[in-house]
Amino acid sequence: MSHQIILPRILQIGAGAAKEVGTIIASLGCSKPLIVTDKMMLELGYIDRIQAHLPASEVYSETVPEPTQASILAGVAMVKKGNFDCIIAVGGGSPIDSAKAMAILGKYGGSMRDYMVPRVVNEPGLPIIAIPTTAGTGSEATRVTIITDEENDEKMLCMGMGFMPTAALVDFELTLSLPGRTTADTGIDALTHAMEAYVSKKANPYSDSQAIQAMGLLAPNLRSAWHDGMDRKAREAMMLGATLAGIAFSNASVALVHGMSRPIGAFFHVPHGLSNAMLLPDITAFSIPAATSRYADCARAMQVAIASDTDKQANHKLMDELIALNEELQVPTPAEFGIDKTRFFAVSETMAEQALASGSPSNNPRIPNTREIVELYQNLW
C-alpha cells in the first residue's frame, strides 16, 4: 500500500527563520501580502518585527481564540477587495486556522460549512506563509483548519491540500515570551498530536517516523519550557517537536481525544490545547487495550519507559506520566475550569454525536459508540 504525504513547499526552521519572510514571499512570486494575526501579536510588537522584512503590507488583527465564522468575515471581505497575492499568518493556531479559511473563502466564496468534512478541499487558495508563535498546534504544517459555527456551537473540521500553507517559518525565538499556561496547553496539544498520529488507524511508516521523533522532543522538554520560558534548548526542541507532530497527524489524522475535545471547546470555550490535556489520560487508558504495543512505543519514545520494559510495564509508566504531567502543569478538570455540571451533563450526548460526526473517533484504536463517549465525558468530570 502506498501513502500520499502532503507538506508545505518550504519549511524554514531555526532561530531567525521569521526574518526570512521577505525573501520567501519574493521566491513565491508574491509582493502584496495581507498579514493575519490577533491584537496581542500587534501589541507585543511581533507584527512590526515581521513588517520590517516585508514590502508594503496590510494587517487584519481581528482573529480570536477558537475562531468562528463571524470572526473571519471581515477578513474574508478584506481578501476579496484587497487584491492581495498571499497571506502571512502570524500567531498561534487560531490566526493560522483563520488565515487558512480566509484564503479559501476569499478566493471561492461560500460559507465555511460548504468546506467541512466529508468534503476534501484540494482547490488552491491564496498562498499562505505561516509563522507560528506557539509550540503546539502544528497548524503551520497541516492541511486542516477548524472554525466554529456559532449558531449551533459546532466546531467544523475542514481538510484538504487547499488548507496546507505554502511555506512555514518555524522560529523558536518567537516562543521565548510565551506565558506558562499557553506553553503547557499548546505543549500537551502537540504531544497529543504525536501520540494520536502514531496510534491512528491511518498511521503509515512516514507519519510514524515523524510522530516518534516529535514525542522524543516534546515529552522530555515540556516541563523545562514551562518552568523556564527562556530555556532556549527546551524551546527549540518544543518548536521542532510541534511541527513534526503537525506533519505526523496531518498525514495520519488524529483520533478520539481530538474528536471529543472539539465539542468541549465549542460549548464551553475551553482552549483547544487545554481540552486535549483534560482528556488525554482518560482516553489513553480507554484505548490502550486495543493498541498495547503502539502505546508502549509511545512510552519509550517519550523516555518514560526503557527498551527492556514489557509493553504492560511501559503502558503503566505512560499512564503515570500523563497523570503526573497534568498535575505538574496544573491542568484543571472541567469542574475546576468552572464549567457548569448540569449543562455539561445535559449536552454530553450532543457532544458525543458531534465527536463521532467529525470522523476522528473512527481513527482510534478502540472505536467507541455514542454511549461510551457520553460515559467518558461524564467520568471526566
Cα–Cα distance, 348 to 158 (Å, whole number): 23
Cα–Cα distance, 94 to 184 (Å, whole number): 17
- DSSP character string of 357-379: HHSGGGGSSS---HHHHHHHHHH
- The letter for the amino acid at 295 is Y
Q: Is 43 exposed, middle or buried (0-12, 13-18, 19+ CB in 10 A)?
A: exposed
Q: Find out if CATH 1.20.1090.10 is the number for domain 180-380.
A: yes
pLDDT of residue 266: 86
Helix or strand holding residue 74 (H, E): helix 69-82
Q: Which of 21, 115, 31 is nearest to 76 (CA)?
A: 115
Instruction: Report the CATH number of the 10-175 domain.
Output: 3.40.50.1970
235-286, pLDDT tens digit by residue? Answer: 999 999 999 999 999 999 999 999 999 999 989 989 889 999 999 999 999 9
Cα–Cα distance, 155 to 146 (Å, whole number): 6
pLDDT of residue 65: 85
pLDDT of residue 109: 93
Interacting residues of 17 by C-beta distance below 8 A, sequence separation 6+:
169, 170, 171
For the chain, residues with pLDDT lower than 50 are: none
Residues of the chain with CATH 3.40.50.1970: 10-175
pLDDT of residue 112: 92
Q: Using DSSP, state whether 176 is helix, strand or coil.
A: coil
pLDDT of residue 381: 84
Residues of the chain with CATH 1.20.1090.10: 180-380
pTM check: above 0.85: yes
